[in-house]
Structure 1
Amino acid sequence: MTIRNLDAIFDPKAVAVIGASTRPGSVGRMVMRNLLDGGFAGPIMPVNPRYNSVEGVLAYRTIADLPVTPDLALICTPPEQVPEMVRQAGQRGVRAAVLIGAGLGRTYTAGGASLAQAAVEAARPTGLRLVGPNTLGLVVPKVGLNASFAPARVPRGRIAFLTQSGAIGTAVMDHAVAHGIGFSAMISLGDCRDVGFADVIDYLAGDPATRAILLYVEAIDSARRFLSAARAAARNKPVLAIKSGRVPAGARAAFTHSGAATGEDEVYEAALRRAGILRVGEIGELFDAVETLHRLQPPRGDRLAILSNGGGPGVMAVDSLIAAGGSLAELAPETVAKLDGVLPGVWSGGNPVDIGGDSDAGRYAEALDILLEDKGADAVLVLHAPTGVADGADVARVVTKAAERTRRPILTSWLGGQGAAPARRVLNEAGIATYDTPHHAVRGFMHRVGYRRIQDMLMETPSSVPETFTPDVAAARAVIAGARAEGRSRLTEIEAGRILGAYGIATIETRLAADAEAAVAAAAALGFPAVLKVASSGITHKSEVGGVVVDLQNADEVRGAAASLAERLRTRAPGAPLDGFLVQRMIRRPRAHELRIAVIHDPVFGPVISFGQGGTAEELVDDRALALPPLNTVLARELMMRTRVHKLLLGYRDRPAADLDEISGVLIRVAQMVVDLPEMRGLDVNPLIADDMGVLVLDAHVEVFPGGGARGPLAIRPYPLDLVETVTMADGRHAVLRPIRPEDEPGHQDFVRHLTPEDIRYRFFGVVREFSHTEMARFTQIDYDREMAFIARTRFDGGDIPPVKPGVLPDETGAETVGVVRVVFDPDAVDAEFAVVVRSDLKGRGLGIRLMNKVIAYCRARGIHRIVGQVLRDNRPMRKLMVTLGFTVRDSLEDDVVEVVLDLRKTAESPAPPASR
């Protein structure tokens, strides 16, 4: 992931068109015309040895003949010429090229490589960036750049659009022109052989001309890079996406088009949600959603009050609301009483509030003011159908005045065509969200609700895990190693139980019996009633062969069940070996729910955790939700809430609520299992029974990668436990140095309160009394791929911080945060900007140098070239520390600030304080 040379794509000073043509209908001619018509102010230089000029512009025979080195080259030549043109452009000093056109991925060189790969190899020695192939090109209206063969001229705006499909790109531009929508940039990425979504999202996240980023996604090539970039961008501006390939046939078509693995649509849904991206279904909805997010204040929840001058529009809105998962606000009795006082007796008497077809602007005003006061409504939708009684524009003006007096979100829908246009104009000019139909209005409301939820997930500070647990990772790995030594990739049920037990997950005791008599002995030892299951490496689901018998009361019933199971296996799965019988004690928990927790391996995003209803009918019920590991308490609860079974788990009638803390605890443990055991390919826990007494695994299966195989990196980098250490300060007190966690927010807020005004000024270059939750969440909930923050924590109550054990967080009971060093990497992972501060009352104990040494070592290990920081000129202690650590101090553009730089390629290891333990 890098934004290197992307400025040459989005803000070039000179452009060359290689393969520019005068041939009617050719791509080279269309690109040249679009460039000239777009108003680009820099040189536009056609390259083609067959012409003296193209579109009236002097042409050049070769790239070497160009009088000016272009920043950007648009390559429109036949496919077989592209790699050589890329090589020549790089040698000339061109910084970026767009490979316009298709065919490079399906045409091959004599050596067997695709022309697309050959172009990438040709660009590598000079660092030339490539967009495409199979691309429409790009348009950047703010610099007059139309480097595409799109037929429409795109107006300037503040929306950026990224697409893998050129056809979708032209359709979006056509839609935008028809609706007066402008762009800050539109880029067709094509096959993403070099420049991909992550690179461009990173660039646009820092572009002040871009208000929102829209994506059309067919497939993602690097899940971790994409999610990292999207999460960073989504914290600052809306990111919305259309993801094609929702059904298997569509996914296969997308693979054929983009040439990348598409993954399962449900997994993409989970990944986009985790990244803070709002997913929509089609082009019109994409732009509607952008306008909704821009115009509509975020509602507190999904409860909608509806005000209408007709019953039909209100009913339509209710249908759409309930179908979308929203809630109809229940009006408070005092609200109904107030409405009774101002509305005619024939009004609907509830929500939706139908105030009658003869309603004028005054009646709308009175009813709307009352609804806006009801705390049970998170937003109000105002509907208006044309009548001869009132001017719709007058009613619209009433709504705009009400909006000025309230912070509660208001949406509107004026039905009709030409007659509704003046009212819509009034609402648009006032910045009020307005839609053509009630359905679109409700959809807009739910977009805002959904976006609020995913943003809350990005900013949420999770609570601590319900109970601390220390997994026995070595024991789990030993089980896997034993199976691999025998050449097995599927573990037995007993082995699966041992792995779950190593992570503190309660499982039912299971014994393997070689024959019927051994099963009788095992059942007697465990206690009756018993459960008997067939054990066979040749079957996956025991229920498919009738391989489970329950409630066996005595030895004779166990013998009979064993004979029956053996016969069923022979008849229903011929050839499957009988490995014996699994024996368990019968568990009677009639009010327990059967759940399923699974780990599946997605080809794009890697391990994915699935949660939902379990039991033998779980495939028919099809109730599951997916999430990417790692998980914490908040994410685990959110995963559970996205299933239908969650409502049952909350309790109903005489059935008490299940222990949700225990269920979320199992999900967290399973997620940790995924982090710790890269050799695990899949896990299926079904059923996990859960009730008010807790949870218990009755059956589980584990599959590992064959041989010595293992999964790649997780799509979201987990907490780096290997960077935790304990150190001794100069006063003998011990402190833990570790990466920051979201749970550290309260302690971090307290840490800031302990800083003196001077230290706050030195750190933040200004006066800061206290940070809001959102601001503090940005400090404590970080993406470890993009930045790192190490904190120091110690105790003041006479207790001590225990030594760190590998892979385990130390017990920090009673500890306080006393120092922090933060470093943020640029997208190219070349430079890193740091800031460090130690609590004012603990200076002089060696913490500052320890924190700096830790972050310097970390940056060196990451391959960072330079560490850079800004220090106030009068902060002499910090300047002295930087010199001690080998930093160079130099003047900056600001008079009161100096810049400190450490070149890690030239410096040796930093000086260390006394040894830590």
Structure 2
Amino acid sequence: MTVKRISQFFNPKSVAVIGASNRTNRAGYVVMRNLLQGGFNGPIMPVTPKYKAVHGVLAYPTIDVLPQIPDLAVICTNKEHCCKIIEQLGEKGCKNAIIIASGFDKALKEALINTAKKAEVNILGPNSLGLLIPRIGLNASFSHMVAKPGKIAFVSQSAAVCSTILDWAKTKDIGFSYFVSVGDCGDIDFDELVDFLGRDANTQAILLYIDNIEHTRRFISAARAAAFSKPVIAIKTGKTAAGADAAIAHTGGNQGSDAVYDAMFQRAGMLRVNDLRELFAATQTLALHPKLLKQEALTILTNGGGPGVMSVDTLIQSSGKLAELSKETIAKLNQVLPQHTSFANPVDIYGDSDPRRYQKALEILVKAPEVDNLLILHSPSALAPSEDFATIIAETVNKIPKMQRPYVMTNFMGETAAYEARKVCQAAGIPTYRTPEGAVAAYMHLIQYRRNQKHLTQTPESLLDSDNIHTDAAAAIIENHLQEKMHYLPTHDAAPLLNCYQINCIATQHAYTPTEAREYAEKMGFPVALKLVSPNIPSKSDVGGVVLNLNDGDEVEQTAFNMLLRINETYPDAQIDGFALQRMATRAGGQELRIAVKTDPNFGPVILLGEAGTALNFDLAAVALPPLNMNLAKYLIAAASDKGFIKEKHLPTKIDKYTLCAMLTRVSQMVVENPDIKSLELNPVLALQGKFQVLDACIELEKYQAGSRIKRLAIRPYPKELEQEITLKDGSMALLRPIRPEDEEAHREFDNKLTKEDRYKRFFGEMPQFSHEQLAKMTQIDYDREMAFIVTQRRDDVWQTLGVSRVLMDPDNLVAEFAVVVRSDIKGLGLGRILMQSVIDHCKRQKVEKIEGLTLPENAGMIGLAKKLGFKVTRDFEEGTIVMTMPLA
């Protein structure tokens, strides 16, 4: 499925209902009724041999006699007939179908998918409630309710949740741009829909209800691109083991770890909510009012002490924080409010407040520079109806221009008294909630969304010793082990591989027998640690396979004998490969961590961080998806600390976060560059005095066979294979390579060295200097969706960017748009040709059908170069531009 085909699916000009019925308890009856009542402006053609007409509309006995090819078919028959119907639709030429029927077992679902592929019919479902596009009057659904037009898109795997959302939206007067029930995702899936909706101008927010994601890499790519421009909010079921089993039974697929889904949502810049209540709250804050907060502190204005206290408790328990009012603001409040008023935060103006007192306090708070976010609480009052208070609040807030006022939310407590007040606030565009706790929970969604968005755009540091990584040596070590059928690498075998990535491992000797262990220990010097070596015992400490502080040879030998006897009793079938001996490391004042890499069935390799111990599963560790950079490693450490997976003890020195970030980044790089690493355990890792040393390691190898080695990762890593050394016309060497997030500052300097004329030619007009957010989007790209090549050269001991080419491919790989710019002060070195050729070569690798670029008529250099390289150059007189095209297919 491509975005182009999704666009056709979502813009039908005619609809056929297969299995239409006049019986009120049939799906074919409800779908026909909904289509007719929705106001769809196109032919609606019921297909059934049982009736001459359905709902008064002429019916057709079979698909082949339809008077025209329907753009969309809604199949309302039993599941047993669906494959045959799909064949008939394909023969007729219909390309899109919704399948309402449910109960497909695995074999029937596979048969349906295969039939649809052969017939070239796109499927929404099975087990779909249908599709609603209110803007065009399309209600091709089995729903009991209609949807009004709006700017929110909702996509769900659960038909029951669809019905619930529609019911709730009606009470809140919320509309939808698209309302899509994907059902069992037989064909059309979340990744394609999010990609389409992220580009759709009619959609300002995307809501998702997810049981499982099948195409994880495509989904992350689409979600991250969408989240750059609009909120993407998701419920993911299956947080518990029982819930995961229920989700698998519902939609099939593989659930994987919920902690990995958490990591994925954060990495993509999405907001995850836990239940429908939170989804409703997040919709009112983010989807309807998608303003990114400037700061995170909250100010509270209330006419009741109790609600104010409840709000503060909820805020602090949710890791939020209160704003601190300035002395100037407090002085202004003191002048207009009664003396008994509390001028702390919350600002409590007491229950005898009338609308005028609210207005006075509000006029001060909305203008206070320290008030970035304001929650207004109101308990019902006998002095005036709640509606009067809401009117004053709405008028006072909306007097201030949106860009100059804080983010304002309201809570009108009660039901009957508060109902009309909430309607006033909704009409004024002010989010409103039924309870103080609900308002604070919704506010924390904004905070989490803000943090996730910052994660998307923060610039990572560069690793100081990144040039000391020995990738080729690491690959050779792995290949040698695999040729020797060695799939389990204990510490002494893993150390050389870890050292290739500057991961320090303690010196280890391998002994095959207790006597040999004694001999090595006596040579090493005491005290020593003795550890069992076995690929079959994952946690040696649990079975007495690790003994520390052995002080002489006799003790080492006897301990080794006893260890073998004990293991033979508890693990009689285990393969024992001898013993590992190490000098005792100084642990005083240090902390022991555990770093692991495991393979998730959906997302591939994932990195885990926690405290050293006997077990490190997804529930006891912070989780991140590779590839990591220094910023992402920092977030992983912060998550481990916040969730209590790493407890910083009262030690003389704290953990060196920078060095730990560097180590995690190198672990990520090792896993990314070596797909034959199936799993990895570094346990424990001793953190002491700013250094990290691996005391025990285990690496599992397995020859990777499943197609592209890069595809095993949920996120495409930096394509190092595209780096190329080049020679410029002046004889100097430079590096042509894809852009990286770390290039932001160099890119800013590059842009600063463009003349005003060159910037005008590149951007087709006057362009202000780029902000950090704009530069982040230019440097932190998704290599699956776009590409930017830079020519970089070391000048004055600093790597400088000399030129940039950009390629943006459409989702269907039909057309790629390109742009090239060279630094103004170093032209004449052949950089333009090199960068243009990088565009052509990349588009050929991606199997793009046509390359297209625009330039201004006065840009003679670009026009001439394009002609030399084989581009067709034409003039668009209406737009005043030169169009450069090159067909590749």
TM interval, shorter chain, is: over 0.9
Once the two structures are TM-superposed, the CA of residue 538 in structure 1 deviates from its matched residue by 3.2
In structure 2, the residue corresponding to 1:16 is in which secondary structure? strand
Once the two structures are TM-superposed, the CA of residue 767 in structure 1 deviates from its matched residue by 0.9
Distance of aligned partners of 1:854 and 1:570 in 2 relative to their CA distance in 1, 3 Å threshold: same
2-structure distance, mates of 1:291, 1:251: 28
1-structure distance, mates of 2:335, 2:689: 48
Counterpart selection for 1:141 from 103, 123, 134: 134
2-structure distance, mates of 1:84, 1:369: 68
Q: How does 1:548-587 map to 2 (within 5 A)?
A: 548-587=546-585
Match of 2:319 in 1: 325
Match of 2:427 in 1: 429
Distance of aligned partners of 1:497 and 1:101 in 2 relative to their CA distance in 1, 3 Å threshold: same
In structure 1, the residue corresponding to 2:712 is in which secondary structure? coil
The TM-score with structure 1 as length reference comes to 0.90
In structure 2, the residue corresponding to 1:133 is in which secondary structure? coil
More off after superposition, 68-77 vs 722-731? 68-77
In structure 1, the residue corresponding to 2:224 is in which secondary structure? helix
2-structure distance, mates of 1:865, 1:54: 46
Match of 1:605 in 2: 603
Letter in 2 for 1:766: G
Match of 1:631 in 2: 628
1-structure distance, mates of 2:411, 2:528: 64
**1:80/1:115 contact within 8 Å kept:** no
1-structure distance, mates of 2:821, 2:777: 17
CA deviations on 1:286-305 (whole Å, 9 max, x unpaired) are: 23212212437433444333
Match of 1:456 in 2: 454
Distance of aligned partners of 1:538 and 1:815 in 2 relative to their CA distance in 1, 3 Å threshold: closer
More off after superposition, 781-790 vs 288-297? 288-297
1-structure distance, mates of 2:399, 2:660: 46
Q: How does 1:57-96 map to 2 (within 5 A)?
A: 57-96=57-96
In structure 1, the residue corresponding to 2:488 is in which secondary structure? coil
CA deviations on 1:94-128 (whole Å, 9 max, x unpaired) are: 232222212444454xxxx843233223334xxx3
Once the two structures are TM-superposed, the CA of residue 648 in structure 1 deviates from its matched residue by 10
Counterpart selection for 1:683 from 655, 680, 685: 680
The TM-score with structure 2 as length reference comes to 0.93
1-structure distance, mates of 2:483, 2:828: 55
Q: Are residues 1:696 and 2:690 paired?
A: no
CA deviations on 1:489-542 (whole Å, 9 max, x unpaired) are: 332232223322221111111111223332233223333221111223331111
**2:366/2:405 contact within 8 Å kept:** no
Once the two structures are TM-superposed, the CA of residue 337 in structure 1 deviates from its matched residue by 7.1
**2:590/2:651 contact within 8 Å kept:** no
Q: How does 1:79-158 map to 2 (within 5 A)?
A: 79-106=79-106, 108=108, 114-124=110-120, 128-158=121-151
Distance of aligned partners of 1:159 and 1:459 in 2 relative to their CA distance in 1, 3 Å threshold: same
Match of 1:740 in 2: 739
Letter in 2 for 1:644: S
2-structure distance, mates of 1:650, 1:539: 27
Q: What is the aligned length? A: 882
Once the two structures are TM-superposed, the CA of residue 266 in structure 1 deviates from its matched residue by 0.8
**2:641/2:647 contact within 8 Å kept:** no
1-structure distance, mates of 2:204, 2:308: 33
CA deviations on 1:351-384 (whole Å, 9 max, x unpaired) are: 4443433334455455556666777765332222
More off after superposition, 223-232 vs 337-346? 337-346
Q: Are residues 1:36 and 2:20 paired?
A: no
Once the two structures are TM-superposed, the CA of residue 722 in structure 1 deviates from its matched residue by 0.7
Letter in 1 for 2:177: S
Counterpart selection for 1:596 from 579, 594, 597: 594
More off after superposition, 671-680 vs 585-594? 585-594
Counterpart selection for 2:864 from 880, 884, 898: 880
Counterpart selection for 2:268 from 271, 275, 281: 275
Once the two structures are TM-superposed, the CA of residue 340 in structure 1 deviates from its matched residue by 6.7
2-structure distance, mates of 1:662, 1:9: 51
**1:469/1:504 contact within 8 Å kept:** no
**2:675/2:704 contact within 8 Å kept:** no
Q: How does 1:841-856 map to 2 (within 5 A)?
A: 841-856=825-840
Match of 1:834 in 2: 818
Distance of aligned partners of 1:47 and 1:394 in 2 relative to their CA distance in 1, 3 Å threshold: closer
In structure 2, the residue corresponding to 1:528 is in which secondary structure? coil
Letter in 2 for 1:444: A
Letter in 2 for 1:450: Q
More off after superposition, 662-671 vs 711-720? 711-720
**1:297/1:407 contact within 8 Å kept:** no
Task: Give the unaligned 5+ runs of structure 1.
Answer: 798-812, 906-917
Distance of aligned partners of 1:144 and 1:85 in 2 relative to their CA distance in 1, 3 Å threshold: same
1-structure distance, mates of 2:628, 2:433: 38
Distance of aligned partners of 1:651 and 1:829 in 2 relative to their CA distance in 1, 3 Å threshold: same
RMSD (Å), alpha carbons = 2.7
Q: How does 1:798-817 map to 2 (within 5 A)?
A: 813-817=797-801
Q: Are residues 1:210 and 2:203 paired?
A: yes
**1:298/1:452 contact within 8 Å kept:** yes
The percent identity for this pair of structures is 45
Letter in 1 for 2:870: G
Q: How does 1:120-269 map to 2 (within 5 A)?
A: 120-124=116-120, 128-269=121-262
Counterpart selection for 1:315 from 309, 314, 322: 309
Q: Are residues 1:18 and 2:15 paired?
A: no
CA deviations on 1:252-303 (whole Å, 9 max, x unpaired) are: 1211221211211111111111111111122242232122124374334443
CA deviations on 1:232-265 (whole Å, 9 max, x unpaired) are: 1111111111111111111112112212112111
Match of 2:787 in 1: 788
Counterpart selection for 1:532 from 509, 530, 533: 530
Match of 1:669 in 2: 666
In structure 1, the residue corresponding to 2:489 is in which secondary structure? coil
Distance of aligned partners of 1:159 and 1:663 in 2 relative to their CA distance in 1, 3 Å threshold: same
More off after superposition, 260-269 vs 317-326? 317-326
Distance of aligned partners of 1:24 and 1:39 in 2 relative to their CA distance in 1, 3 Å threshold: same
Once the two structures are TM-superposed, the CA of residue 682 in structure 1 deviates from its matched residue by 1.1
Match of 1:913 in 2: none
Letter in 2 for 1:178: T
Distance of aligned partners of 1:49 and 1:622 in 2 relative to their CA distance in 1, 3 Å threshold: closer
Once the two structures are TM-superposed, the CA of residue 624 in structure 1 deviates from its matched residue by 1.9
Distance of aligned partners of 1:382 and 1:78 in 2 relative to their CA distance in 1, 3 Å threshold: closer
Distance of aligned partners of 1:336 and 1:3 in 2 relative to their CA distance in 1, 3 Å threshold: same
Letter in 1 for 2:818: F
Letter in 2 for 1:514: Y
Q: How does 1:693-772 map to 2 (within 5 A)?
A: 693-705=690-702, 712-772=711-771
2-structure distance, mates of 1:789, 1:752: 15
In structure 1, the residue corresponding to 2:572 is in which secondary structure? coil
**2:874/2:882 contact within 8 Å kept:** yes
Distance of aligned partners of 1:893 and 1:71 in 2 relative to their CA distance in 1, 3 Å threshold: farther
**1:649/1:657 contact within 8 Å kept:** no
1-structure distance, mates of 2:826, 2:29: 69
Letter in 2 for 1:671: S
1-structure distance, mates of 2:762, 2:310: 55
Task: Give the unaligned 5+ runs of structure 2.
Answer: none
CA deviations on 1:378-415 (whole Å, 9 max, x unpaired) are: 53322221233465455445544257555333322121
Counterpart selection for 1:484 from 478, 482, 485: 482
Letter in 1 for 2:869: L
In structure 2, the residue corresponding to 1:687 is in which secondary structure? strand
CA deviations on 1:832-878 (whole Å, 9 max, x unpaired) are: 11111222233332211111111111111111111112222343332
In structure 2, the residue corresponding to 1:590 is in which secondary structure? coil
Match of 1:507 in 2: 505
Distance of aligned partners of 1:767 and 1:80 in 2 relative to their CA distance in 1, 3 Å threshold: same
